[in-house]
Structure 1
Amino acid sequence: MFIEAKNQLQTIRDVLRFAISRFNDAGLHFGHGSASAYDEAAYLILHTLHLPLDRLEPFLDARILPGELELVLKIIERRATEKIPAAYLTREAWLGDFHFYVDERVIVPRSFIAELLREQLAPWMEEPAEVYSALDLCTGSGCLAILLAHAFPNAAIDATDISANALQVAEKNVEEYGLEDRIDLIQSDLFAALADRRYDLIVSNPPYVNAEAMAALPEEYRHEPQSALASGEDGLKATKVILRDAANHLTADGLLIVEIGHNREALERAFPDTPFTWLDTSAGDEFVFLLKRDQLPRHQAL
């Protein structure tokens, strides 16, 4: 099929149609930035040809040079046969207008918390200029730490991850944004290495996939670090530790914001007396919770 495509395809429109058909035939899963075979095909074609990612229409009938066609077909074929997430093929991922380097050392950035940071956590954070310290727990690529730095310009940011490999990727992104003086990268198993540090704001997108869901993950997700996904039988192993220890690391009026995937019902069963506030996101109000320090489980707070 690859040789036939090289001999027959001439325009970007031709290649786009071919890629969509190839992706649909391969039964790919789209959950790492693109929502459909069309979106993924358009992105990979535009990226490979060094064209603006938001402008497909003007180029649809442009003819592709033989060398360009070979490059495009190779990346399409790798996506279809190896089922590698597109972000790992292009070494880039986006959260809104923010661009990040990624590779297999980190999960592909995707977080509803990013949406909330665009609005500086309004209305919950009344005075963004008075956020002087913030923590991104389980930072991975460093994406949320970088968004925190932009949302709260007076804040010093700590960003932790248990993985030294992930922190190497985060360091690359922090340097790309010129934030070395504001973001401190720390290797830590959740709060373990943070001693008595306290923060006005803690955000976390920790591992939250339960054992049943891990066993059924599409192949694309198996290219990601499993330690950044799996969180025990119920998906709450990391979140329970965060709830246990967060009060010891929040200032008196500090906020904790945690993303938990599809675990709202399980979390509320596990903590029936904790008054979670569920924040509205583009996918609904069951994925991200907020707690003030004095709302954390009382027997676990100092």
Structure 2
Amino acid sequence: MQSASITFPHIDQTTPLKTVGDWIRFCASQMELQGCFYGHGFANPWDEARFLVLRSLKLDWDIPDSVLPSHLLGSEIDSLYQAIQSRCIEKIPTAYLLEEAWFMGEPYKVTPNVLIPRSPIAELIGAGFEPWITEEPGRALDLCTGSGCIGIAMARVFPNTPIDISDLSYEALSIATENIADKELGMQIQVYQGDLFSGIEPTNQYDLIVSNPPYVDQEDIDDMPEEFHHEPRLGLAAGFDGLDLVHKMMLQAPSYLSENGWLVCEVGNSAAAMAEAYPQVELIWPEFEQGGHGVFIVSARELSKLQN
């Protein structure tokens, strides 16, 4: 991959890039030339370029290819050029440029105040958390919610379950609240603010707690591609081993879980450190058909061992 020091080409309305397809090709080529990293929902430059261009033009990202020969207006060319330049030179993720990301087939508003949705927990939600959950939970919690996407997705799968979401960041909760209102789920989802469980009603008991907390260790923070530095550090960094918050969660969760409840938590590359830290607790590590790793599932009964 070539260096990001390559000069970004000057483009104006006299340049022979006229069609939607021209601009997708230009965007994909420049992302490769400028050394972009694809880790926010896209595996390759073509898919990301297609999404960036089509959604910038307010078109569905899955429109047929017959639209690609369509010509752009001058104002559309100017706007696209600026967006592509920001993606390639400043390494701003496409989701932040558009303020839109997709999770489990739904769009979500995202800004640099929240992480861009991409958790493999989506696959577990889609399966209704079977075989661990065999009926709709009486109550469920999305802890460290960010954009609210996990809590909203759970509300879709469990329409009769009251869902609580919580986050430390007021800015993140503002975005989550917008997403909840946009999807008309305000009657089902309750929003709390606080550090882990500190803002939750102490009497709340959950059959299911799901969390995608900060879990990036110091080594991975230092090595992250530039794109990830546009995300809120509060949502990523979690100490030397990446488990600062998870250690607290493991001790506090039993007080909020029902007798037969489950905690589902993503720790990513900190999985080895997690397994080493809790040899006395049976942690289940599901495999994902759609990709991803580093999610553990643990029962309330297993967690109670930590309080003995």
SS at match of 1:277: coil
Preserved contact between residue 120 and residue 291 of structure 2 (Cα < 8 Å) = no
Distance in 2 between the 1:230 and 1:104 partners?
Answer: 15
Preserved contact between residue 268 and residue 294 of structure 2 (Cα < 8 Å) = yes
- Give the counterpart of 2:169 among 163, 168, 190: 163
- CA drift of 1:15 comes to 1.5
SS at match of 2:112: coil
* Structure 2 partner of 1:85: 93
- CA drift of 1:3 comes to 2.7
* Structure 2 partner of 1:151: 157
Preserved contact between residue 99 and residue 110 of structure 2 (Cα < 8 Å) = yes
Distance in 2 between the 1:266 and 1:213 partners?
Answer: 13
Distance in 2 between the 1:19 and 1:145 partners?
Answer: 34
- CA drift of 1:300 comes to 2.2
SS at match of 1:8: coil
Aligned-pair identity (%): 38
Distance in 1 between the 2:52 and 2:132 partners?
Answer: 38
Distance in 2 between the 1:225 and 1:56 partners?
Answer: 35
* Structure 1 partner of 2:204: 197
SS at match of 1:263: helix
Mapping 1:24-103, distance limit 5 Å: 24-103=32-111
Q: Which amino acid aligns with 2:46?
A: Y
TM norm structure 2: 0.93
Mapping 1:104-123, distance limit 5 Å: 104-123=112-131
Distance in 1 between the 2:289 and 2:173 partners?
Answer: 29
* Structure 1 partner of 2:4: none
**CA 1:215–1:6 in structure 2 vs 1: closer, same or farther (change >3 Å)?**
farther
Establish whether residue 239 from structure 1 lines up as the match of residue 246 from structure 2: yes
Establish whether residue 300 from structure 1 lines up as the match of residue 307 from structure 2: yes
* Structure 2 partner of 1:263: 270
- CA drift of 1:29 comes to 0.9
Distance in 2 between the 1:278 and 1:284 partners?
Answer: 13
Q: Structure 1, residues 67-101: CA drift from partner, whole Å, max 9, x if none?
A: 22222222111111111111110011101211111
**CA 1:284–1:97 in structure 2 vs 1: closer, same or farther (change >3 Å)?**
closer
**CA 1:57–1:147 in structure 2 vs 1: closer, same or farther (change >3 Å)?**
same
Preserved contact between residue 141 and residue 169 of structure 1 (Cα < 8 Å) = yes
- CA drift of 1:297 comes to 5.2
Preserved contact between residue 120 and residue 292 of structure 2 (Cα < 8 Å) = no
Structure 2: state its 5+ residue gaps. Answer: 1-8
Distance in 2 between the 1:200 and 1:186 partners?
Answer: 18
**CA 1:284–1:9 in structure 2 vs 1: closer, same or farther (change >3 Å)?**
closer
- CA drift of 1:215 comes to 1.1
SS at match of 1:43: helix
Distance in 1 between the 2:25 and 2:149 partners?
Answer: 33
Distance in 1 between the 2:231 and 2:249 partners?
Answer: 23
- CA drift of 1:4 comes to 5.5
- CA drift of 1:49 comes to 1.6
Establish whether residue 188 from structure 1 lines up as the match of residue 194 from structure 2: yes
Preserved contact between residue 167 and residue 194 of structure 2 (Cα < 8 Å) = yes
Distance in 1 between the 2:170 and 2:16 partners?
Answer: 47
- Give the counterpart of 1:230 among 234, 237, 243: 237
Distance in 2 between the 1:250 and 1:233 partners?
Answer: 28
Mapping 1:128-139, distance limit 5 Å: 128=136, 131-139=137-145
**CA 1:163–1:240 in structure 2 vs 1: closer, same or farther (change >3 Å)?**
same
Cα RMSD for the two superposed structures: 1.6
Question: How many correspondences in the alignment?
Answer: 299
Distance in 1 between the 2:97 and 2:132 partners?
Answer: 38
SS at match of 1:71: helix
TM norm structure 1: 0.94
Q: Which amino acid aligns with 2:203?
A: D
Structure 1: state its 5+ residue gaps. Answer: none
SS at match of 1:253: strand
Q: Structure 1, residues 40-72: CA drift from partner, whole Å, max 9, x if none?
A: 111111111222211251222222222222222
* Structure 2 partner of 1:279: 286
- CA drift of 1:149 comes to 1.0
Q: Which amino acid aligns with 2:77?
A: L
Distance in 2 between the 1:56 and 1:261 partners?
Answer: 36
* Structure 1 partner of 2:3: none
